[in-house]
Amino acid sequence: MTEAPVLIGVWKQLVGQEPAARTLSSASAAAARIIENQPVAPGAMTHAWLVTGPPGSGRSTAARVFAAALQCSTGTGCGECPGCRTVVAGTHADVKLVAPEGLSISVAEMRSLVQAAARRPTTGRWQVVIIEDADRLTEGASNALLKAVEEPPDRTVFLLCAPSDHPDDVSVTIRSRCRLVTLRTPPAEAIAQVLVERDGIDPERAQWAASVSSGHVGRARRLATDEAARQRRATVLRIPLGLRRPSDVFTCADQLISAAEADAGEESKVRDEAERSELRTAMGGDGTGKGVAGAKRAAEAAVKQLEKRQKSRATRTQRDTLDLALVDLAAFYRDVLVTKSGAGATLNHPDHASEISQAASAWAPDSILRRLEAVLECREAIDLNVKPRIAVEAMVTTLRQG
């Protein structure tokens, strides 16, 4: 086995993603040669990319890091120059980020984005558009994007992120116009290492968090740094063995939903407040004189719009958080199943090994499987807009009966 190369500069953020980092860094090196009017091999740089990978593997981080390298004055993604630093901070004028904050990106949003992308880059390098969750594009938005991706302006780069390159996720036509970068589930050691080096987390805690986060970097960081998140995970993992009486079904369903709400609420609160104060600053404070009334009206309208967006984003965060809890739960039953079969595979929840083996000796294989399926069906139902409480209660009923 060859040892993974040491990642430097902004590339350090691509935890456990050395192959993708190599592809993207050689493309950014070619991009730098294009800026300097030097010859490059055909296809060395591409105008449209699709970054895919499992949840938590760092798709949007990969897109941002690549964007930084494209704007880097040394062309390497040094992490030190103003280009790199402003992209990483999210303030570079030529890097536009679309994170669909509601459940999808609107056509109007996409049109204005495509227009902005056609402008010449202000810094003379690249105009970069990052679309997070390109799988949540509506058909209309997708069509608006397609034209730009088909005939990209000279100095424009589109970076699309999606969970997979499955045709259901991203339209076949768009996919066929993009170069594909696939991220893998980062290994636990790589996650632990970044938690220690980047976030200054104590090595023992970092290792534990990495081992129970199923390769989800953000989740590992959260578990390592947030006591409340650790408690919520514990609540979720108490469910499988905690369903004794019929009334436990409702208690557990309730706990699951309120844990997700609390988690999402905390995340939204911090973000919402920051955005409101930013907007207030941008709109200017109180003043007198000509034009003030008009400015006030505009400010009020902007605040209303922001609040609407925040509300729609909160719904989505809540769903995503509930989904994470369901993934944890499914992983528990999967652990029980592999323990039962004696396959000796690595557990998703190694810190719950004794509960897992307790369940493995108590339940028959087909009843474990039914429970696992109930969790997966619940995820699907919520994805299809079934009310979370209804879907969760149906699931917990099966979890109890087996």
Contact residues for Zn ion, defined by CB under 5 A: 72, 78, 81, 84
Least separation, in Å, of the C-beta of 127 and Zn ion? 18
Gap between the Cα atoms of 352 and 335, Å rounded? 10
Which of 93, 40, 34 has the alpha carbon at shortest distance from 67? 93
Nearer to Zn ion, 85 or 271 (CB): 85
Nearer to Zn ion, 72 or 149 (CB): 72
Least separation, in Å, of the C-beta of 27 and Zn ion? 16
Least separation, in Å, of the C-beta of 314 and Zn ion? 35
Tokens of 47: 């105008």
> Is 267 buried (19+), middle (13-18) or exposed (0-12) by CB count in 10 A?
middle
Gap between the Cα atoms of 293 and 287, Å rounded? 9
Gap between the Cα atoms of 392 and 402, Å rounded? 15
Q: Do 57 and 191 touch, CB atoms closer than 8 A?
A: no
* Residue nearest Zn ion by beta-carbon distance: 72
Place of tokens 């993974």: 4
Gap between the Cα atoms of 22 and 11, Å rounded? 9
Please measure the distance between the N-terminal and C-terminal CA atoms of the chain and give it in whole angstroms: 43
Least separation, in Å, of the C-beta of 29 and Zn ion? 12
Chain Cα centroid distance, residue 311: 19
Least separation, in Å, of the C-beta of 80 and Zn ion? 6
Least separation, in Å, of the C-beta of 162 and Zn ion? 27
Q: Do 374 and 334 touch, CB atoms closer than 8 A?
A: no
Nearer to Zn ion, 81 or 146 (CB): 81
Nearer to Zn ion, 17 or 71 (CB): 71
Nearer to Zn ion, 61 or 104 (CB): 61
Place of tokens 């028959």: 364
Least separation, in Å, of the C-beta of 70 and Zn ion? 10
Nearer to Zn ion, 11 or 333 (CB): 11
Q: Do 140 and 168 touch, CB atoms closer than 8 A?
A: no
Gap between the Cα atoms of 78 and 29, Å rounded? 12
Nearer to Zn ion, 92 or 316 (CB): 92
Nearer to Zn ion, 125 or 232 (CB): 125
Nearer to Zn ion, 74 or 185 (CB): 74
Which of 104, 155, 108, 106 has the alpha carbon at shortest distance from 129? 155
Parallel/antiparallel/unpaired status of strands 48-52 and 95-98: unpaired
Nearer to Zn ion, 105 or 157 (CB): 157
Least separation, in Å, of the C-beta of 72 and Zn ion? 3
Least separation, in Å, of the C-beta of 148 and Zn ion? 27
Q: What is the DSSP string of 251-286?
A: HHHHHHHHHHHHHHHHHHHHHHHHHHHHHHHHH---
Q: Quick one: DSSP state of residue 114? A: H
Gap between the Cα atoms of 266 and 138, Å rounded? 29
Least separation, in Å, of the C-beta of 68 and Zn ion? 7
